[in-house]
Amino acid sequence: MTDSQAPTAIPGSLGTNPVAAAPAGARTAVDVVTPEVVAQLTRGVVGSGRTANHAPFTGKKLADLPESTPQDVATAFERARVAQPLWAAVPVRQRAAVLLRFHDLVLERQAEVLDLIQLETGKARLHAHEEVQALAVEARHYGRAAASYLKPKRHIGAVPTLTKVTELRQPRGVIGQISPWNYPLELSAGDALPAFVAGNAVVMKPDTETALTALWARDLLVEAGLPPEVFQVVLGEGPVVGPEVVRHADYVSFTGSTRVGREIARGAADRLVGVSLELGGKNPMLVLADADVEKAAAGAVRACFSSAGQLCISIERLYVHESMADLFVERFAARTKAMRLGTSLAYGAEMGSLVGERQLDAVTRHVEEAVAKGATVVAGGTARPDIGPYFYEPTILDGVEAPMAVCTEETFGPVVSLYRFSDEDEVIGRANSTPYGLNASVWTKDARRGLAVAARLRAGTVNINEGYASAYGSVRAPMGGMKESGLGRRHGSEGILKYTEAQTVARQRIVPMAPSFGMDDEKYAAVMSRSLRVMKALRLR
């Protein structure tokens, strides 16, 4: 499974929008997903049934996989529960060292997982590499910073010097993690890393269609030193296996649609366990009057069409200042029409496939409905079965308005709608007029203006002069959604502390928190009142 092996098979088909050009990769699914590879990776699954996943490039079956029953899920949690206290007893620096070794292994063996990601999701290799980058950054960050995030903190106590207080961070226990297919490496292993380094075990339910990628990461983490029992994987239909994970978990980490997120939250509420939800978006990009048109047009291509728009932080609404809208649209459309689509397991294609029929149907429905109601197609607008069964051209629509579905609902595909504006206050209001609040992008040459606009946008991340990658890749800072785009954050301190319970340990010295040394209640109350005034005067917090 390395890039140096195997150039024997039929080249991946290539297509462009509209002219063919990208170089063909030589490997195909048959070379990469061998029975030996499947057997090795699926050892990590607790499952007694059978299921399968499919390759979007061809629509054909990729691998037979185990499927988990509710009893299998219970078994996975039991095993994880036995292993977790032993793992939590390992000093944090040793746990962190596993992440740092994992970082090196991922970069060393990236060719293997790039093939798997492409085969399971149908995305272009460059977009698959974004996952490798994100995972390495997270492994480095939590590998280096976990000890300081988790170290016991001293606080000034109720009675300074007499009450000594330490805040400890205890692991929650066994985390139930449910992840989607669109970024199967980053949103499986990437989100599990802070949970592990905080001393938890994880029972993960990746999407079945992209299970091999998640299982590859599990194998590599075990190679890096993670005890295998600490990382259990279960597979199966979301509505069947997902609720079982919620039923057993001490905390639930979910990434997926807002619709399913609500169900997860209800299940967690019934059990009074915590939950973090990373959900959908309808993300706006604002091209202000002073933006660099060429850079904004190139940035819009990345922002709208990475992973064929199947990216939660992808841009689906593009607001352009009217003074340069015509020029911007011309440049953006020219770049979009020149994009090379392809199925090759090599760099070169600029966009890959949609993941499957459901996604293709949703995209087709949004575009056809908009056109039927009066929108115009500036670029793209058609499926490309000549390249692969689920390919759809990168598409720009103009004249979109409510109640067209593409105007208000998340499309989760390579479709962006153009809107013109003249007034900055008004466009901020329009950008915010959605139930979602995940990501936004602002283009301007004026940094101060960009920051001022960003602060008024109701989005968990705002990228200035980039679409999504700057904020997402800045792993020391939190990332997540406002409004219906989520609860909680990944990355930074919030991304690891959510996997812990705060425990306050207070040690009382010399005198108790009560009248003592023969003091009566009234005297004690007076002493305490005086002490409180002194503490405020000393500016204690």
Q: What tokens does 477 get? A: 């800072």
The kind and range of the H/E element at 145 are helix 125-150
Point out the residue whose Cβ comes nearest to ligand NAD: 242
Q: What tokens does 208 get? A: 């079945």
- Which C-beta is closer to ligand NAD: that of 365 or that of 523? 365
Residues 429 and 458: beta-carbon distance below 8 Å:
no
- The Cα–Cα gap between 53 and 375 comes to 36
Is the N-terminal amide bond of 403 cis, ω within 30° of 0?
yes
CB of 436 to ligand NAD, least distance (A): 9
Q: What tokens does 130 get? A: 């974004």
Catalytic residue among 278, 316, 393, 484: 278
- Which C-beta is closer to ligand NAD: that of 112 or that of 410? 410
Contacts of 295 (CB under 8 A, 6+ apart): 443, 465
Question: Is 357 in the active site?
Answer: no
Residues 516 and 170: beta-carbon distance below 8 Å:
no
Contacts of 501 (CB under 8 A, 6+ apart): 169, 170, 171, 172
CB of 240 to ligand NAD, least distance (A): 8
- Which C-beta is closer to ligand NAD: that of 115 or that of 484? 484
CB of 121 to ligand NAD, least distance (A): 11
Write the Ramachandran bin of 16: left for phi over 0, alpha for psi from -120 to 50, otherwise beta: beta
The three-point CA angle 161-150-184 to 5° equals 160
Question: Is 407 in the active site?
Answer: no
Residue reference for tokens 């002069």: 465
CB of 223 to ligand NAD, least distance (A): 25
Burial class of residue 449, CB neighbours in 10 A (0-12, 13-18, 19+): middle
What residue type is 375 in one-letter code?
A
- Which C-beta is closer to ligand NAD: that of 77 or that of 87? 77
CB atoms under 10 Å from CB of 36, counted, come to 9
- Which C-beta is closer to ligand NAD: that of 163 or that of 257? 257
Residues 376 and 387: beta-carbon distance below 8 Å:
no
**Backbone CA torsion sign across 320, 323, 326, 327:** negative
Of the candidates 138, 16, 154, the one whose C-alpha atom is nearest the C-alpha of residue 496 is: 138
- Which C-beta is closer to ligand NAD: that of 14 or that of 362? 362
- Which C-beta is closer to ligand NAD: that of 95 or that of 317? 317
- Which C-beta is closer to ligand NAD: that of 388 or that of 481? 481
CB atoms under 10 Å from CB of 259, counted, come to 10
- Which C-beta is closer to ligand NAD: that of 16 or that of 307? 307
CB of 236 to ligand NAD, least distance (A): 8
The three-point CA angle 12-15-17 to 5° equals 155
CB of 70 to ligand NAD, least distance (A): 13
- The Cα–Cα gap between 308 and 302 comes to 10
| Helix 35-42 × helix 211-223 angle, to 10° | 70
- Which C-beta is closer to ligand NAD: that of 143 or that of 184? 184
- Chain residues binding ligand NAD by CB under 6 A are 178-183, 187, 205, 207, 238-239, 242-243, 255-257, 260, 263-264, 278-281, 312, 410, 412, 438, 481, 486
Contacts of 263 (CB under 8 A, 6+ apart): 243
Of the candidates 413, 28, 32, 45, the one whose C-alpha atom is nearest the C-alpha of residue 208 is: 45
Residues 214 and 235: beta-carbon distance below 8 Å:
no
CB of 507 to ligand NAD, least distance (A): 41
- The Cα–Cα gap between 221 and 218 comes to 5
Residues 142 and 194: beta-carbon distance below 8 Å:
yes
284 strand-pairing partners: 317
CB of 144 to ligand NAD, least distance (A): 23
Of the candidates 395, 348, 355, the one whose C-alpha atom is nearest the C-alpha of residue 376 is: 395
Catalytic residue among 312, 316, 350, 484: 312
CB of 148 to ligand NAD, least distance (A): 25
CB of 284 to ligand NAD, least distance (A): 15
Question: Which residues are known catalytic residues?
Answer: 278, 312
